[in-house]
Structure 1
């Protein structure tokens, strides 16, 4: 069981969204390795990524489309919660230089005892 005293849910949420905003490939790769276990999983809609290489491809694709090409950025809402071995939080996508929210989503993260992501379920409204 996860030691809830050692995991700061909001800090994890902030680190999570920072990965999706990261412009440097090496820093992004290192951040993914720090956040997920080696065989970590990510699910959104019908897409899935398993392991660092697939996670990196998924996150890079989202970054290129939403951040690099469309000039948006992601931020975690201040609602992260930890319950045993699960962290949930909402995220928002905003245009650069604005507080106008373009999209929102919910993350459901199953984490290990060290707070690293085992499984990441991303819910985006249809």
Structure 2
């Protein structure tokens, strides 16, 4: 479980990294080369696609950060976890989501994202 927790924390760090070069390096560490990411707002594959998707989300939600409100749940190469997006220190997150990741050789191969709460 510790390895999964670390991987999920690294995944959240990718979403919070605003420096493009550092974010791409984190993506290479966290995701397989052919990784896929799908949520209701889009679907992308590969490191470049994931980087571009995250950069777009960061522009849309500038100044906000992702956090993990609870421990991930994991078994058989799968992990699920909830995340919050909000202003650091704010009582209420702006957005809440739930991701399921497929893990291969210690990296994320696929992300299946769900949005529970989004700003109007």
Give TM-score scaled by structure 1 length. 0.85
In the alignment of these two chains, the number of paired residues is 117
Give RMSD over aligned pairs: 1.6
Residue aligning to 2:81: 89
Q: Give the counterpart of 1:37 among 29, 32, 37.
A: 32
2-structure distance, mates of 1:36, 1:23:
17
Give TM-score scaled by structure 2 length. 0.89
Q: Which ranges of structure 1 fall in alignment gaps of 5 or more residues?
A: none
Question: In the alignment, is residue 125 of structure 1 matched against residue 116 of structure 2?
Answer: yes
Q: Is the 8 A contact 1:10 1:78 kept in 2?
A: no
Deviations 1:55-100 (A, max 9, x none): 110011111211x2xx211111222021011011100011134232
Q: Give the counterpart of 1:63 among 58, 65, 73.
A: 58
Residue aligning to 2:21: 26
Deviations 1:15-38 (A, max 9, x none): 111111102111100011111111
Q: Which consecutive segments of 4 or more residues in structure 1 shift more than 3 A?
A: none
Residue aligning to 1:48: 43
Q: Is the 8 A contact 1:76 1:90 kept in 2?
A: yes
1-structure distance, mates of 2:102, 2:41:
19
2-structure distance, mates of 1:60, 1:53:
10
